[in-house]
Amino acid sequence: MKLSIVIFCLCGLLAFNVNAQSPDSSEGATFLLHKFQQNIGKEKYQILKNGSEIIYQIDFKFVDRGGAVPLTAQLALNPNGTPISLVAKGKNSRFSVLNDSVSIRDRTAHIRQGDSVYDKSIGKISFPVAGYAPGTVQMLMLQYWKKHGRPESMDILPTGSVKIKWDGLDTLSWNQGNLILERYIIGGLIWGNELAWIDKKGQLYCLITNDAEADKLEMMLEPYESLLPDLISRAAACSMRIFTASSKISMLHPKMIAITGGTVIDLVNGKDLVNATILIANGLIQTVGPADAVKIPAAAYIIKADGKTILPGLWDMHAHFEQAEWGPAYLAVGVTTVRDCGNEFDYINAIQSAIDKGLGIGPHILKAGIIDGKGKMALGIIQADSKEEAIAAVRRYKDNGFVQIKIYSSVKPDIVKAICQEAHRLNLTVTGHVPDGMNIIQAVDSGMDMVNHIQYVTDRLKIDKKSKTFDFSDSANLYLLSFLKQHRTVIDPTLGVYEMIFRSFKEPMTDIEPAYASLPAPLQNLFINMGMPDARALSMKPYMARLEQAVEALQKAGVPLVAGTDQGLPGFSLWRELELYVHAGLSPLEALRTATIVPAHFMQLDQYYGSVEPGKEADLILVDGNPLMDISNIRKLSLVIKTGTIYKPSELHQLVGFSK
């Protein structure tokens, strides 16, 4: 279940040359909907009149990996654009339902949200919005905001407010001419910032947002679809720039740093170094040793770590970096490296470039390029159904700095081998889903080095009918564990994803994430509805227990495990993943290794990352207490260092809307 941040692209066209004519949208228009840049549906609006009222009738629908997401809405305005009513009904993701209405009369809004009905007094300026979709409502909201003096903040209904900011002009090549669009940043509808382009008449051209699964979704005015890759790249660079241009956090980057008095955890040899001193010079660890044996240079910036534990920066090996806000959110929990397991090609390239050049805030990004097969369940636009297509896709990723290939669920079994062979020839490893029609043994035999999600292991394990647990005296089960160990197949279990899916609606979210109340309101609203009815959740508990049993069995068998979240609650889910591993039977040391030295080793980067040793990058975290005594102490993070730059976690969280 992915969660991700909404980048809103409302871009406005201010000027056209003779070759770029503004479209006539007086009767309506169509937006093409995209996920992973793939066209997955449409939003159409028609403009009708009912007396003096102007009515926008909107039909929105996309199909995401076989799941239909239909939504209808009707927005009524008076002739000057003031809202009268909004009705929205249907779905805004594969897993969420919307049935809302707002009607406004005499400064009172009559609101229905699902089964809840109430009245609310409203201010002079407010606008009804149903969330990220429909995009047509976003367009009209922006027009309304401009007509009312562009206030710094504007109330929205049913609840909340938005902040809209003009952010400049973008000139795009179109129809042998130039199309000049006005770019806006919008905050408040989703977690983080949205971007938008409109023209001088207020017509929306592009809306880049996140859907109710936190997946990035783009809406593009139909004749202009070819401009989408360029706008995606611009949106990534723009949204990363926001954090450096407007950031008030106290980032420090001294040439020489001395960390004194803490306990260094040696995750390679399993030993502690008490009362240690660490010297960092120009972003690299120079010395690690006992305090009485290390001389501190006079010019060093001193960090006193008495009573704290010093660990290498954490890794999230199943990220989907779908909006710029993930960067500070990852660093705020000590994640200094992520493996991005599939993203939009232009977007993730721009995000990584911005961070590496110091134009944005975030962790190191290792890119795994996604390849799917063709068909109704396909994801993304990079697809391969032939050996030639497979080779071309792998080479494209290699040429653009990707270090790994991710195979998705619709790849045909015979194409899996072609992808793996070309990837290995180019010194790339291969991870991903086990495609439909294959099992994990066949996938690994075809060349897959790593597998995402524990379910692909448990699908091949036999269950003891009486105990409803896996029988590891069974020869087939023992063979699978032995096979995976011999092939050094790396598994990222993503236990937290399953815990979230199988959660009972009656269980408080704080049972999963103690810091839930610190999340921005749009994220709280997103996750509070994630789960299932109590009776069904109860029936899934044996399945969840078996997933944990399999993780413990893999660890005992010597099969490499790496910690990954598949997003979840931004940043926090990595801590939860480690807690679940300990609950499954791993020791705290073993759990910490899954998020440090083990992924660094299997990504062929342990020479530079993954442990606190001289010569390695200064990616470090300081924690109050000792996670080896209680893994939940990892939550007591006090300081984060990435390549010698010092960050305060609370400031990073505040930067992206968390109250913590």
Query: Both 216 and 337 in a single domain?
Result: no
d(CA 219, CA 216): 10
In a domain, 658, yes or no: no
CB 158 within 8 A of CB 186: no
The pLDDT score that the predictor gives to residue 161 is 92
And the tokens for 164?
């809209």
Among 607, 623, 643, which residue terminates a domain? 607
Half-sphere exposure of 418 (CA within 13 A, CB side): 20
Query: Both 408 and 523 in a single domain?
Result: yes
User: How many residues make up the chain in this entry?
Assistant: 660
In a domain, 549, yes or no: yes
Query: Both 232 and 329 in a single domain?
Result: no
In a domain, 318, yes or no: yes
The pLDDT score that the predictor gives to residue 251 is 85
CB 360 within 8 A of CB 354: yes
d(CA 548, CA 530): 21
- The ranges of the chain with pLDDT < 50 are 1-20
Query: Both 321 and 208 in a single domain?
Result: no
In a domain, 2, yes or no: no
Can you give the CATH number for the domain in which 478 is found?
3.20.20.140
Query: Both 238 and 327 in a single domain?
Result: no
Output the CA–CA distances (angstroms, integers) from residue 480 to 343, 441, 456, in the order listed. Answer: 31, 8, 11
d(CA 327, CA 208): 18
Nearest to 102 by CA among 156, 154, 48: 156
Residue type, 437: G
Nearest to 202 by CA among 85, 77, 95: 77
The pLDDT score that the predictor gives to residue 71 is 96
Query: Both 54 and 159 in a single domain?
Result: yes
Residue with tokens 């035999």: 445
Query: Both 363 and 235 in a single domain?
Result: no
The pLDDT score that the predictor gives to residue 19 is 40
Radius of gyration of the chain (CA): 26
State the residue range of the domain holding 175.
10-245
CB 241 within 8 A of CB 360: yes
| Other Cβ atoms closer than 10 A to 24 | 9
d(CA 137, CA 400): 37
Query: Both 568 and 425 in a single domain?
Result: yes
Nearest to 431 by CA among 552, 347, 318: 318
CB 131 within 8 A of CB 137: no
In a domain, 630, yes or no: no
Query: Both 208 and 323 in a single domain?
Result: no
Domain count, the chain: 2
Query: Both 222 and 356 in a single domain?
Result: no
DSSP single-letter state for residue 252:
B
In a domain, 5, yes or no: no
124, with CB counted inside 10 A (0-12, 13-18, 19+), is exposed
| Other Cβ atoms closer than 10 A to 350 | 23
491-513 pLDDT, tens digit each: 999 999 999 999 999 999 999 99
CB 549 within 8 A of CB 469: yes
The pLDDT score that the predictor gives to residue 18 is 32
In a domain, 269, yes or no: no
225-265 pLDDT, tens digit each: 999 999 999 999 998 888 776 567 788 999 999 999 999 99
And the tokens for 614?
């001289």
Query: Both 237 and 321 in a single domain?
Result: no
Among 222, 245, 268, which residue terminates a domain? 245
DSSP states along 412-479? -HHHHHHHHHHHHHTT-EEEEPPPTT--HHHHHHTT--EEESTHHHHTTS-EETTTTEE-TTSHHHHH
The pLDDT score that the predictor gives to residue 115 is 80
399-418 pLDDT, tens digit each: 999 999 999 999 999 999 99
Among 590, 607, 624, which residue terminates a domain? 607
d(CA 443, CA 517): 41
In a domain, 447, yes or no: yes
Look at residue 297 and give its three-state secondary structure.
coil
Query: Both 218 and 342 in a single domain?
Result: no
Distance of CA 323 to the CA centre of its chain: 7
